[in-house]
Amino acid sequence: MPRLKPDTQRARRDHILDAAEQCFARAGFHATSMQHICREAGVSPGALYVYFRSKEDLIAGLAERNRLEFQARFAQLAEATDFFAALEAIGNAYFVEDEAYHRQICLEIGMESTRSATVGEIHRSVDDFVRLNFETLFQRMIDEGRIRPAHDAAALAKVFMVIGDGLFWRSAVDRSFDMAKTIPDIVEVIRQLLNPVDASSTLHSAKPTVEEAAE
């Protein structure tokens, strides 16, 4: 049997992950069997087990894919000239434009993490990755004089995690909740929390006036 090209292997792996995501979101982790995923993906058990040996392996694959997606979006946020506009765009991408079952599967993984030590470890690793990225970004913004929050970067990152968890939960369990209208309000609350420094006032304070220079 000829060896598949790396691109073909990645495509098949992603196809199986897509099928698992659909199954887990529709029926839950425990009610979904590997056979269900085979049928959803249209592959044989042998083909499935080439890539994933268990449902925990599938959860790990989904978590890693979500982490990489977050990493790409976060890079855009970290380099944006307008942090709050970029934050609103990311909020819309996750909670308005993205398919609802993607958020549902995140909740499913979170619930399973309370029952399975393996899934719990996977969930915590992704959680820590997201939190540390935000903490590093907030510390950089503080050091650069872009924000003057009342709390330190670590506390801000934890608050962000709680806000994100709440958004995932609300958007998954209440399909009637209008995220498109809510996201701008949340961004405004975050703006007040971070207390951004006006660029013009920062520049002004950094340069002495004529009178100050004379002194």
Cα 198-202-208 angle, rounded to 5 deg: 150
Rounded to the nearest 10°, the torsion over CA 190, 175, 71, 19 is 170
pLDDT at 112: 86
pLDDT at 211: 42
Taking alpha carbons only, the member of 44, 40, 12, 47 closest to residue 26 is 40
Q: Where are the alpha helices (DSSP H) in the chain?
A: 6-27, 34-41, 45-51, 55-79, 83-92, 100-112, 117-143, 153-173, 179-194, 199-206, 210-214
Which domains are seen in the chain, by residue range?
1-53 (1.10.10.60), 55-200 (1.10.357.10)
pLDDT at 212: 42
Residues of the chain with pLDDT under 50: 1, 200-215
Please, are residues 133 and 164 in contact by the beta-carbon 8 Å criterion? no
User: SS3 for 137?
Assistant: helix
Phi, psi of 196 (to 5 degrees): -65, 145
Q: Is the dihedral of CA 8, 19, 178, 171 positive or negative?
A: negative
pLDDT in tens, 45-59: 999 999 999 999 999
User: What is the per-residue DSSP string for 37-81?
Assistant: HHHHHT--HHHHHHH-SSHHHHHHHHHHHHHHHHHHHHHHHHH-S
